[in-house]
Amino acid sequence: MDYISPTQHAISGMNHSDTLSLSLELLQQPSVTPVDHTCQTIMADRLAKAGFHIEPMRFGDVDNLWARRGTEGPVFCFAGHTDVVPTGRLDAWNSDPFAPEIRDGKLYGRGSADMKTALAAMVVASERFVAKHPDHKGSIAFLITSDEEGPAVNGTVKVIETLEERNEKITWCLVGEPSSTSKLGDIVKNGRRGSLNGVLHVHGKQGHVAYPHLARNPIHEASAALAELCQTVWDNGNEYFPATSFQISNIHSGTGATNVIPGTLEVIFNFRYSTEVTAEQLKQRVHEILDKHGLQYEIDWNLSGLPFLTPVGELVNAAQTAILNVTGTETELSTSGGTSDGRFIAPTGAQVLELGVLNATIHQINEHVDVHDLDPLTDIYEQILENLLA
């Protein structure tokens, strides 16, 4: 049977669709990380009317929401974040970033792409699904945080720890991150690379540039080692992941004077790594290279995310089928891009996918999304629920 979209609302004037109306309401909230600014309350009020049990979870200065309809498994969870990145210079925007405007079919506002429109689509899709299937299988849940764009220490990770402590398991999780590239649904993220950060401190001996034999220049001493790190092939990736990459993001040394050899060098770097290596293996190889060059150093390591992968199965099939039915698009699976909160959910055993609007303008001045993508995204989310829980 051909799929018929349930949303045929006009996207103009006062005749807004449910998803667009909720998107506008959420976009008016200046929820710069870690402030939620009532976004979760707006969502929770609507979910409560649809029969969800609402459980706010606040950790530190971060508001989180766990909402669930049903007590049995399997559990399908919508996950996302209400916080947005800072706006940048307000005078660089063509309109107030927290007074959303529709111009030429585009919805402008901070968070329009990343990811308040997806949150609206999740809520509306759930409302419609529940109205059609009040006795649906399993449970539907929402895991929403206001700490995704910030340090991510009091958000999703803490909610997951709480759920794990009470043995409350998520079966399938759809994260509403903006995954699409050229058109809605063309890319779905079924995994993410790991992220390993390091701050390298190389020790030399400060001195006068005219007497280099009385000093040790840590920049000179480290240069060959840094070049080797940049040129090293860490792995060749695999069918799901590109090869692991090493990038230096910052180098700092010196007193600011032209006649002083610095005594220390600080190098900040990052690995985005595949499942072909582990964080411990990367650390070991870095130390081997630095030791080979005889450096005096220490490294502060920070693992900000393990790699995860959801292979083709129930969730992937449900999403690909829904996207094809709604948009006619054959979806490509990808693990590219940065980290997301999926990295905290996948280790519990959940299947995790990221599916949302186009990501072309996320974090940019004049962030926007195509208004005509909002209802189809809602339809896709609703049909995924149909495919898994009807």
Q: How confident is the model at residue 137 (pLDDT cuts 50, 70, 90)?
A: very high
Let me know: does 184 contact 329? Beta carbons within 8 Å.
yes
At 88, give phi and psi (nearest 5°).
80, -165
Q: Is 96 a catalytic residue?
A: no
Q: Which of 18, 36, 63, 83 is catalytic?
A: 83
Let me know: does 388 contact 20? Beta carbons within 8 Å.
no
Q: Which of 36, 127, 147, 148 is catalytic?
A: 148
The more confidently predicted of residues 3 and 387 is 387
Judge whether residue 2 has pLDDT over 60.
no
Judge whether residue 7 has pLDDT over 70.
no
Q: Is 2 a catalytic residue?
A: no
> According to the model, what pLDDT value does residue 19 have?
98
Let me know: does 307 contact 281? Beta carbons within 8 Å.
no
> What is the spatial distance between Cα 155 and Cα 34, in angstroms, rounded to a whole number?
9
Lowest pLDDT segment from 13-27, 53-67, 90-104: 13-27
> According to the model, what pLDDT value does residue 338 have?
79
Residue 189 pairs in a beta bridge with: 334, 354
Cα four-point dihedral sign 38, 355, 54, 167: negative
Judge whether residue 360 has pLDDT over 80.
yes
Q: How confident is the model at residue 9 (pLDDT cuts 50, 70, 90)?
A: very low
For 156-194, write each residue's pLDDT tens digit.
Answer: 999 999 999 999 999 999 999 999 999 999 999 999 999
| 3-state per-residue secondary structure call for the chain | CCCCCCCCCCCCCCCCCHHHHHHHHHHCCCCECCCCCCHHHHHHHHHHHCCCEEEEEEECCEEEEEEEECCCCCEEEEEEECCECCCCCHHHCCCCCCCCEEECCEEECCCHHHHHHHHHHHHHHHHHHHHHCCCCCCEEEEEEECCCCCCCCCCHHHHHHHHHHCCCCCCEEEECCCCECCCCCCEEECEECEEEEEEEEEECECEECCCHHHCECHHHHHHHHHHHHHHCCCCCCCCCCCCCEEEEEEEEECCCCCCEECCEEEEEEEEEECCCCCHHHHHHHHHHHHHHCCCCEEEEEEEEECCEECCCCHHHHHHHHHHHHHHCCCCEEECCCCCCCHHHHHHHCCEEEECCCECCCCCCCCCEEEHHHHHHHHHHHHHHHHHHHC
> What is the spatial distance between Cα 124 and Cα 25, in angstroms, rounded to a whole number?
13
Judge whether residue 10 has pLDDT over 90.
no
